[in-house]
Structure 1
Amino acid sequence: MPHWYDHAIIYQIYPKSFQDSNGDGLGDLNGIRKRIPYLKNLGVNAVWLNPVFVSPQVDNGYDVSNYFAIDPHMGTMEDMENLIKDLHKAGIHLIMDFVLNHTSDQHPWFQDAIKNPDSLYRDYYIFAGHDGKRPNNWGSFFGGSVWEPDPAGTGQSYFHLFDKRMPDLNWKNPEVRHAMLEVAEYWLKKGIDGLRLDAFIHIGKADLRQNYPTGDGDVNKPIVAEPFFANLPQVQEWMRPFCEQIKQ
């Protein structure tokens, strides 16, 4: 039996620029609700909603500081629940953007990790190196090194593929995999129809002790070492059970 997504016509919505409902100059959830008839007339049967979680907005909402709450600029949880309900009434499914690879540095997990080196959340992120020395020469997609000095002053550095205010999660830690599954299940229970898994190809990292070949031998120059952090075998190893669980 075919599923709705086998023949989906998906309309992507970036909330902040879509429709403002309260005159503050930013699009919001109620603005989207207002335009459901427009979406219906377009003939779409699914909406892909860019991130609406609580965020400092360093990277347009892809830096999440609370996965269980709606950013106040977007509305309230009640607004979100009403949006889900009204989209469904119109025969439109909702797919939410879900950021898997990293969080905001304002997320409570990371804040605890840097305030207490013995915190259980320390292993929720990737810390390595010693005496202020970077573990390798890998470069960030946003420029510079993937390594940023630990604010706690331990001499270690934390890993960030994107902005330094977006530390990567340590998916090797089964507690991280469980925590992210809990987030996914929370939203599925709210009634959403699917998740767009952001940057999931980067959750696996190679051995951090190896430098990427530079050609000129300068190992101090950061290089975007994609073969070391994109589409590695661990991605399938960790995502397969994740996807199986959320499809139940």
Structure 2
Amino acid sequence: YYLHSFAVEQPDLNWDNPQLRQAVYDMMNFWVNKGVDGFRLDVINLISKPDSFADGQPEAGEPYAAIGGIIANGPHLHEYLQEMNQQVFAGHQLMTVGETPGATVADAKQLASSQGQELNMVFEFEHMGLDGNPDPALGKWNDQPVRLVDLKQSLSKWQIGLQGTAWNSLYWNNHDQPRIVSRFGDERPAYRERSAKMLATLLHFLQGTPYIYEGEELGMTNAHFTKLTDYQDLESLNAYHHFVDDEQVVQPEQMLGYLAHMSRDNARTPMQWDDSQNAGFSTATPWLAVNANYPRINAQLAQRTPGSVLSYYQRLIKLRHHLPVITTGTYHLLSPDDAAVYAYMRHMGSQHLLVICNFTAATQTRHFAELPADAHLLISNYDEDHQDVLRAYEAKVYQF
């Protein structure tokens, strides 16, 4: 027998065994010597298991307790990461990021301290759990949008909490999350590019290191599979059978709607390179079907189209390399209770940025007293500035 926190094919390693730890460090050093630039450490805050094996408390209607809260941030986590740092990271120019489900700001301050004894930064998941179902028994499975006020509160907490003591990782997408333009934006053809650029603007002007997941820079959308057989993701299949077949608390059509909105397979469809067979990903039959919209959303077309989502990401990256205020400036949220517009400021000495993002398809009118008359419009997803009037999914950044 063995412990598997995830799939049965994935036995957990016993990190309490010093020979095991040394074998891991030897493997990592093999790749360091090959010249890799860094490591992403999967669910790294689960490596130190508790000393006791008491039963957890199951949620209502569940046969077992969720394991995450039981095994996260165990008694020797920091000891093992400091040892890893000394054995592998020290003396090398490496970038390290740890995936840390359930981590708090306090956890991140220790894991990603500017003192550099453990990791450079961590992936936290708080903002990725804000749009779960109002019924806690259904967990993440939902098809409703996030409340902007909640998103502001979460991102601001991390921006302010880590300022000067640790470092943020900034992301909307990864292999475990649905496509952000379908989730927090608006994938309808009239709004897809605007909202994709708006979400990119919001993220890239925050303090931290932005991560761009394959296809995000094209505005790739959810796949909208319509049959259970379209899915391969174990989490999605298990959830369907649990809620539809076993518990019978969700109708099949509703659960398929939840999967179309939240399944991890939405992020795992083949990369859309061009408009050829299978979007140029492969001439063989891919593991998952290609998103049907690949003829109009693909990298080749984006490279040829002025003003594409791809070109906008390139502009954002260039700005981050040239404006120190984005890297080191402090963060200040404006209008925290505004349910439609996310606005914040960045400050570094005499340098200031005002970031304004309309999260709706409706026209909004907002006046910001913080904005001086001589402010310079640094970037926007519209060609002209209408000052206080914000059009559908408009994003703009002023510099002064």
TM-score w.r.t. the length of structure 1 is 0.42
